[in-house]
Amino acid sequence: MDPIEVLMAEHRCIERMLKVLTVVAEQVEVEVDYDSFEKAIDFIQNFSDKFHHAKEEGEFFPLIESKGIPKESGPIAMMLQEHDIGRNYVKGLVDSLSKYKEGDKSQSTAISSNAQGFVNLLAEHIMKEDNILYPMGNQVISDQDRSSLIQRFNEIAKDAGESVPEKYHKLVNDLEKKFNIS
C-alpha cells in the first residue's frame, strides 16, 4: 500500500469522528454526554494525534522536507501550527468538561465552542493536507522512499499496539450507531 494512501485513509476515519463530535457538541445545551465526549477525546488524543499526527510529524513531514519542501515557511509550518492549535482546543475541551462535572454549569459554552472549534480546524486541516501538502509530497518522494515510509508506519503501528487502528475504527462505528450517523 502507498504511504500517502494510508494517511488519507486515516483522514477518512478522523472525518467520521468529526461528524460524531459535531452531534455531541450540538447536544450540549440539552445534555452533556460525558461518555461520548470521553470516547471522542480518547480517539482524538490516541488515534488522530499520537498515531496519525505522529506519522506526519515524525516521518512524512521530515521526509518531504529533506526533498526540498521548506519547513519554516509554507505548508509544513502551517500544518504543524494547526496540530498545536488542535491540541489547545482538546485541552480546553478536557478542562471545561471537568469543571462542568464539578458543578460549574457555565462551562457548557466553552465545551461546545472548543469541540466545534476543533471540528472546524481539523476538517479544514485535512482538506489542505489531502489537496495541497500530500500531492506536493507525492511529487517529490521516490518508490524507495515510499517503501521505507511504509516500513516506518508499520513500526509505529507495532509500537502503538497492533490493535490501535481496529480499536478506534470500532469506537467510531459504535458512536455512529449510537447517534444514527451513516
> Where does this chain bind Fe ion (CB under 5 A)?
56, 79, 129
Q: How many helices (H) and strands (E) does the chain have?
A: 9, 0
Nearer to Fe ion, 76 or 97 (CB): 76
Angle between helices 143-160 and 164-178 (to 10 degrees): 70
Compute the least distance from the CB of residue 31 to Fe ion, in Å.
31
Nearer to Fe ion, 98 or 139 (CB): 139
Residue with cell 526540498: 68
Compute the least distance from the CB of residue 11 to Fe ion, in Å.
6
C-alpha cell at 71: 519547513
Nearer to Fe ion, 59 or 129 (CB): 129
The sign of the CA dihedral 32, 38, 80, 126 is negative
Compute the least distance from the CB of residue 125 to Fe ion, in Å.
6
